[in-house]
Amino acid sequence: MIPHSAQALVDIAQPVADALAARKPVVALESTIITHGMPYPQNDEMAANVEAIIEAEGAVPATIAVIDGRLKIGLTPQERTTLARTGEAMKLSRADLAFAVSQRRTGGTTVAATMIGAALAGITVFATGGIGGVHKGAETSFDISADLDELARTPVIVVSAGAKAILDIDKTLEVLESRSVPVVAYGSDTMPAFWSRRSPHPAPLRLDTPEAIARFFKTRGALGLGGGMLVANPVPAEHEIPADEMAGFIAAAQEAAEAERVSGKAVTPFLLERILKLTDGRSLATNIALVENNARLAARIAAARTG
Ligand code: PSU
Ligand code: MN
């Protein structure tokens, strides 16, 4: 499956290789959420729980990361815990994935870089929390995540809880539309906003079953349309923080980022950490619940693709 030129650089964990060879469902998972999205030990617990949920659904999890210059498709529990504890991991997107491999570095892969790893290995379904997108104030900062370009070019289904509410959701949807990325809300007419089930934005497309999502993706491939697609799965009601409650915390975090002139890759981790503090950890509990919810749906989509 792996292109010849990449074979010497990539390690596919045995359970993942076996599942791919037997055409069993596999779900890719990102690792920036582990290295830069949550504190230790919650990051490690979250990653272990998410893998267990995927296994309970009958699929094989493949957490993707770069460890000592090896592009890993699937981590052992020990590798995962080591990654969760290290304070020195890079945050890797398309621009720096090969840098980390060539310099024998260690890093968490963002949505963009995880899509690249998944596609190299032949994995087409990927679960995460929230994608990167167009930041508030992007008209002056130009801060637009490389995740959006990756969704346009790499054929992987990304299951998320929408765009993080720290982003400008309107502008994020506009860019996705310009880049011809399908955005499918799962069982909802409105776009979810990560910690909240609803946003004021109507969903571009809606589907209500994993089978329908799998069929949509297959049809895109059959028509030669290429590229990925974004599934937006609302957080379960019992874990949500309503948008009007989150708005104040997000605005405060945003102001702090501007005051401290945070820029580039540091913006998303800074905002997430600040919001965690402002909400007394409540945002983290919701973040964990929504990733678990996305893992479950992703496993069902992966099963529908192979079934
Ligand atoms: N959502 C989270 N936590 C995270 C991220 C998203 O709840 O850590 C990460 C993802 O890896 C995403 C990245 O791809 O943030 C986007 O970063 P940037 O905005 O710098 O592209
Ligand atoms: Mn950015």
Annotate 165-197 with DSSP letters as a single string: TTB-HHHHHHHHHHTT--EEEES-SB--BTTBS
CB 190 within 8 A of CB 201: yes
Question: Rounded mean pLDDT of 139-161?
Answer: 97
pLDDT single digits (tens) 100-111: 999 999 999 999
CB 231 within 8 A of CB 160: yes
Phi, psi at residue 64, to the nearest 5°?
-110, 135
Residue 291 pLDDT greater than 90, yes or no: yes
Task: Please indicate whether residue 252, judged by its CB atom, sits closer than 6 Å to ligand 1.
Answer: no
Q: Return the ligand number nearest the Cα of 148.
A: 1
Q: How far apart are CA 81 and CA 75, in angstroms?
A: 9
Residues acting as catalytic residues: 30, 164
SS3 assignment, position 125: strand
Q: Return the ligand number nearest the Cα of 147.
A: 1
Residue type, 67: I
* Domain regions of the chain by residue span: 4-233+287-306
pLDDT single digits (tens) 89-102: 999 999 999 999 99
Mutate to test the pocket of ligand 1, among 66, 110, 154, 196 (most ligand atoms within 8 A of CB): 110
- For the chain, give the percent of residues with pLDDT over 70: 100
Please report the pLDDT score of residue 233 as a whole number. 98
**Which fold would CATH assign to domain 4-233+287-306?**
Indigoidine synthase fold (3.40.1790)
Question: Rounded mean pLDDT of 193-199?
Answer: 92
Q: How far apart are CA 307 and CA 298, in angstroms?
A: 14
Largest pairwise CA distance in the chain: 53
pLDDT single digits (tens) 47-81: 999 999 999 999 999 999 999 999 999 999 999 99
What's the predicted TM-score (pTM) here?
0.97
Residue 25 pLDDT greater than 80, yes or no: yes
